[in-house]
């Protein structure tokens, strides 16, 4: 319990500013702390047992008679002097006092009790101090605290939301860094991201069509209809055996871990009332996804490629704040789509896409047809389609023009990032806003 409290307190204090600035989520910190705690807690066991021989000697000496206890002190005189300073425990003083006191009148028993009390206090303090040294070392070895110390000393290992998400993939960060730097510097990309972010409604709703299951909270009615045994962490319903774990100091950490994981044995009841629970992990927006159609043909190589990938990264980051999905459809000779739902989890495949080389011809129609299929197939409304290309291509076919009108009736908005000097204006006329890069 001491270790858990110390680890949480140090971590939350170190990352307080980052949590307030949105770089790190409170839930993410809690998950990281719990994972590290579970992995390192077993190492405390050896520190619990370090003083076991001395504790056994203490408890066995309690049962000795006064005369036997005096002989015990004389035999252990050297061991006590080795373990304790004279100012802590003067073994010679207690031996002399017991020798000079009458064993018949019980005066020696008082000296014995004084000695045992002193020994118990010193042994408890030594054990606690020794364990706390190890707890301190474990906390200092926590990778998140090491990273934070490196940041404060000038070695910036964390400092943005993207850097935090990539701290589990250090090999990816160097490859993603150029895109993040361009994303922060380019005013057109920043304005596009701000505009898309502002379209996010303040009040979120939970969309049953998004595939998110509604969770329920079980709240027990009066406990009069026990049906069996289940697992959970309702302290009012625990089996008696579980309270034994809580009462025993050596097993209390096991109890706390099982409590946190909701694995305690408890009575199950027939009369349960169900209340809906809002879980931030599964929050989704009522709006449709961001759909990015990006031209990956050979004409987009060089600076155009760097800017395009930086824009994709900026839009992908909006998925966390707005709780919306993001589809990236790259087109050259054919269209290939990539779905980003959880940026932290999907970061490797996004990085893999961003590190592919642009090459091939140009055909935007397969990408627009795929975007239409995504919107119509999922009944999405209020989606945003971002077109990234030089738009040096033939106009839209008649049937595709009709499909664009249909998805616009679903309140789909179009935006564009334009490269080149001779774009086909029909594509730009689809857009509410476009930026010349």
Percent of the chain whose predicted confidence (pLDDT) is above 90: 35
Nearest alpha-carbon partner for 44 in 143, 145, 135: 135
- Cα dihedral value 105, 106, 111, 115, nearest 10: 160
Rounded to whole angstroms, the Cα distance separating 286 from 382 reads 8
Under the banding of pLDDT at 50, 70 and 90, the label for residue 66 is confident
pLDDT of 269 > 50? The answer is yes
Q: What pLDDT score does 161 carry?
A: 79
Mean pLDDT (the chain, rounded): 82
Q: What pLDDT score does 279 carry?
A: 46
Rounded to whole angstroms, the Cα distance separating 408 from 382 reads 9
- End-to-end CA gap in the chain: 56
Residue pLDDT, tens place only, 306-351: 999 999 999 999 998 888 999 999 887 677 789 999 888 888 888 8
Burial class (CB in 10 A: 0-12, 13-18, 19+), 400: middle
Q: What pLDDT score does 149 carry?
A: 73
Q: Which of 68-72, 205-209, 230-234, 247-251 has the highest mean pLDDT?
A: 68-72
Q: Which residue has the tokens 């490629």?
A: 305
Q: What pLDDT score does 243 carry?
A: 81
Under the banding of pLDDT at 50, 70 and 90, the label for residue 265 is confident
CATH superfamily of 290-436: von Willebrand factor, type A domain (3.40.50.410)
Q: Which residue has the tokens 């005189």?
A: 77
DSSP 5-52: HHHHHHHHHHTHHHHHTTSS-HHHHHHHHHHHHHHHGGGGHHHHSTTH
Kind and range of the H or E run holding 254: helix 252-260
Which residues sit opposite 386 in a β-bridge? Answer: 292, 415
Rounded to whole angstroms, the Cα distance separating 388 from 300 reads 10
Start-end ranges of CATH 3.40.50.410 in the chain?
290-436
413's torsion region: left (phi>0), alpha (psi -120 to 50) or beta?
beta
Rounded to whole angstroms, the Cα distance separating 399 from 404 reads 9
Average pLDDT over residues 391-415: 92
pLDDT of 396 > 50? The answer is yes
Is the distance from CB of 314 to CB of 193 less than 8 angstroms? yes
Q: What pLDDT score does 132 carry?
A: 84
Q: What pLDDT score does 429 carry?
A: 93
Residue pLDDT, tens place only, 133-188: 888 889 999 988 887 776 554 444 455 777 777 777 777 777 888 888 899 899 99
pLDDT of 70 > 80? The answer is yes
pLDDT of 104 > 70? The answer is no
């Amino acid at each position: 319990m001491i270790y858990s409290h110390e680890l949480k307190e140090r971590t939350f204090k170190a990352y307080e500013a980052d949590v307030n600035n949105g770089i790190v989520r409170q839930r993410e910190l809690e998950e990281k702390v719990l994972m590290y705690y579970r992995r390192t807690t077993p190492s405390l066991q050896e520190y619990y047992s370090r003083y076991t021989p001395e504790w056994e000697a203490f408890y066995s000496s309690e049962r000795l008679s006064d005369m036997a206890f005096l002989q015990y002190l004389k035999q252990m005189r050297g061991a006590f002097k080795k373990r304790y300073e004279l100012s802590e425990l003067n073994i010679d003083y207690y031996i002399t006092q017991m020798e000079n006191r009458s064993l018949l009148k019980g005066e020696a028993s008082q000296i014995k009790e004084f000695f045992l009390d002193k020994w118990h206090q010193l042994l408890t303090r030594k054990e606690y101090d020794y364990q706390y040294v190890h707890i301190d070392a474990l906390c200092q070895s926590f990778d998140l605290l090491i990273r934070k110390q490196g940041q404060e000393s000038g070695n910036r290992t964390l400092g943005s939301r993207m850097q935090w998400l990539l701290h589990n993939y250090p090999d990816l960060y160097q490859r993603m860094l150029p895109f993040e730097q361009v994303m922060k510097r380019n005013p057109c990309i920043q304005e596009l991201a701000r505009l898309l972010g502002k379209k996010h409604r303040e009040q979120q709703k939970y969309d049953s069509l998004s595939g998110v299951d509604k969770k329920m909270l079980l709240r027990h009615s009066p406990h009069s209809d026990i049906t069996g045994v289940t697992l959970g962490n309702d302290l009012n319903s625990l089996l008696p055996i579980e309270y034994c774990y809580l009462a025993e100091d050596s097993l209390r950490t096991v109890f706390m871990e099982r409590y946190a994981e909701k694995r305690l044995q408890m009575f199950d009841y027939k009369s349960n009332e169900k209340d809906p629970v809002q879980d931030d992990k599964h929050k989704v927006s009522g709006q449709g996804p961001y759909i990015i159609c990006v031209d990956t043909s050979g004409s987009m190589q060089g600076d155009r490629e760097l800017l395009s990938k930086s824009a994709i990264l900026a839009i992908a980051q909006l998925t966390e704040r707005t709780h919306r999905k993001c589809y990236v459809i790259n087109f050259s000779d054919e269209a290939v789509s990539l779905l980003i739902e959880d940026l932290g989890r999907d970061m490797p495949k996004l990085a893999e896409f961003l590190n592919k080389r642009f090459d091939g011809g140009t055909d935007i129609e397969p990408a627009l047809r795929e975007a239409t299929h995504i919107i119509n197939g999922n009944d999405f409304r209020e989606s945003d389609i971002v077109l990234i290309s030089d738009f040096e291509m033939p106009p839209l076919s008649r049937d595709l023009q009709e499909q664009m009108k249909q998805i616009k009736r679903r309140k789909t908005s179009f935006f564009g990032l334009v490269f080149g000097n001779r774009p086909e204006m029909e594509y730009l006329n689809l857009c509410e806003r476009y930026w010349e890069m």
